[in-house]
Amino acid sequence: MTRKDPPFTIGVEEEYLLVDKETRGLVVDPPQSLLSECEEELGGQVTNELLRSQIEVGTKVCGNVQEAREDLSRLRKSVIEVTGRHGIAPIAASTHPFSLWSEQKHTPKDRYESLTAEMQAAARRLVICGMHVHVGIEDDSLRIDLMNQVAYFLPHLLALSCSSPFWRGFDTGLRSYRLTVFDALPRTGLPETFQSYAEYERHVDILINAGVIQDSTKIWWDLRPSGKFPTLETRIMDVCTRMDDAIALAALLVCLMRMLYRLRLNNQRWRTYSRMLVRENRWRAMRYSFDEGLIDFAKGKIVPFDQLIDEILELTYEDARALGCEKEVASVREILSRGTSAHRQLKAHELSIAAGNSQEDALKAVVDTLVSDTAEDL
């Protein structure tokens, strides 16, 4: 019998915040025509989000990383062009530096009305954006097997994507504050470990039959079997401000999944560590990004992040070559040398304050940096 390997296709979803180019604050009430104008350009690849000050795009199903980059570039360019006609700019950042959640308006759709009615302030506070990467894995049992193993690497991906250091005008001290907001919802955080897809389905069915959720799309873990597509969907990452960073992380993720599949073919697997331990690294990534390293559980100590990345790149070298994305994966090192969006935001704020500007103007300078970086690399 011929073995059927996973397609390892890629799909990238990005959420953006919409800012007024003059005030730099969030646009609470964007023009009614804005979404329809975007839809004229992009069709079903653009949609509104929970809040009216947000917009979401999603690539097509892409056969490789280069296709994903081309499509994502087209999506970003179109949103920038359409919003620019209205004096608005999108920023690919997971929080806004100073706008208040209490002033935002949610999109009048049944599913959003239902969410805010059920979750109350926990939902109204969701002025946050993320990047979701789908990797095509059609076999249900393989998706669960890989989900159990890929969870180990989720903090590494988060550390490289951080873009939410500010909240309500304050430096939070965290590089990814977004997850502290999202974690207030149920069914979030690291995925559970399951022995089979059937076991996963039984757990989901209990919640459905109890009337708690309608379907598995209401499972909002950092990593989940998609409820809509034959994919494994990684959701832990902040949205990357620079598109090249987003593509680098998508490439690294698909290579990790292929590496784990390759181990499986040789009757090997990545060791599954307790969620307690992985959760500790998740916190370190939220707090420090990559600045203070992560715990290597086999060594029992904190290891500098550049060493961890070198090890991962070595592990996935064969896979990057097979998938034709060596260049994109290697560019992960550029994130380490240049810094994440969170690093750049904090630097922009620091330089503005050092130049004698007020806190208000320094935060506006952060927004200007985000507007510029969102349009870079396209």
What does the pLDDT read at residue 369?
98
Classify residue 90: in a domain, yes or no: no
Q: Is 73 helix (H, G, I), strand (E, B) or coil?
A: helix
Classify residue 225: in a domain, yes or no: yes
Q: Would you call 172 exposed, middle or buried from its count of C-beta atoms within 10 A (0-12, 13-18, 19+)?
A: middle
Structure confidence at residue 3 as a pLDDT band (50, 70, 90): confident
- Residue 363, pLDDT above cutoff 70: yes
**pLDDT, mean over the chain:** 96
What does the pLDDT read at residue 4?
87
Classify residue 9: in a domain, yes or no: no
Q: pLDDT, tens digit, for every residue of 249-290?
A: 999 999 999 999 999 999 999 999 999 999 999 999 999 999
Q: Would you call 36 exposed, middle or buried from its count of C-beta atoms within 10 A (0-12, 13-18, 19+)?
A: exposed
- How much is the pTM? 0.97
Q: pLDDT, tens digit, for every residue of 133-170?
A: 999 999 999 999 999 999 999 999 999 999 999 999 99
Classify residue 145: in a domain, yes or no: yes
- Residue 1, pLDDT above cutoff 70: no
Query: Residue 361 sits in a domain of what CATH number?
Result: 3.30.590.20
Instruction: Report d(CA 234, CA 250) in Å as an integer.
Output: 10
Tokens 């979030």 correspond to 188
Q: pLDDT, tens digit, for every residue of 201-251?
A: 999 999 999 999 999 999 999 999 998 999 999 999 999 999 999 999 999
- Residue 2, pLDDT above cutoff 80: no
Classify residue 73: in a domain, yes or no: no
Classify residue 207: in a domain, yes or no: yes
| Residue 194 CB partners (closer than 8 Å, separation 6+) | 144, 147, 148, 200, 203
Mean pLDDT of 337-361: 98
Classify residue 26: in a domain, yes or no: no
Q: pLDDT, tens digit, for every residue of 30-66?
A: 998 999 999 999 999 999 998 999 999 999 999 999 9
Classify residue 221: in a domain, yes or no: yes
Count of domains forming the chain: 1
Q: pLDDT, tens digit, for every residue of 301-324?
A: 999 999 999 999 999 999 999 999
Q: How would you classify residue 48: left for phi > 0, otherwise alpha for psi between -120 and 50, otherwise beta?
A: beta
Instruction: Report d(CA 363, CA 98) in Å as an integer.
Output: 7
Domain of residue 226: give its range.
Answer: 103-374
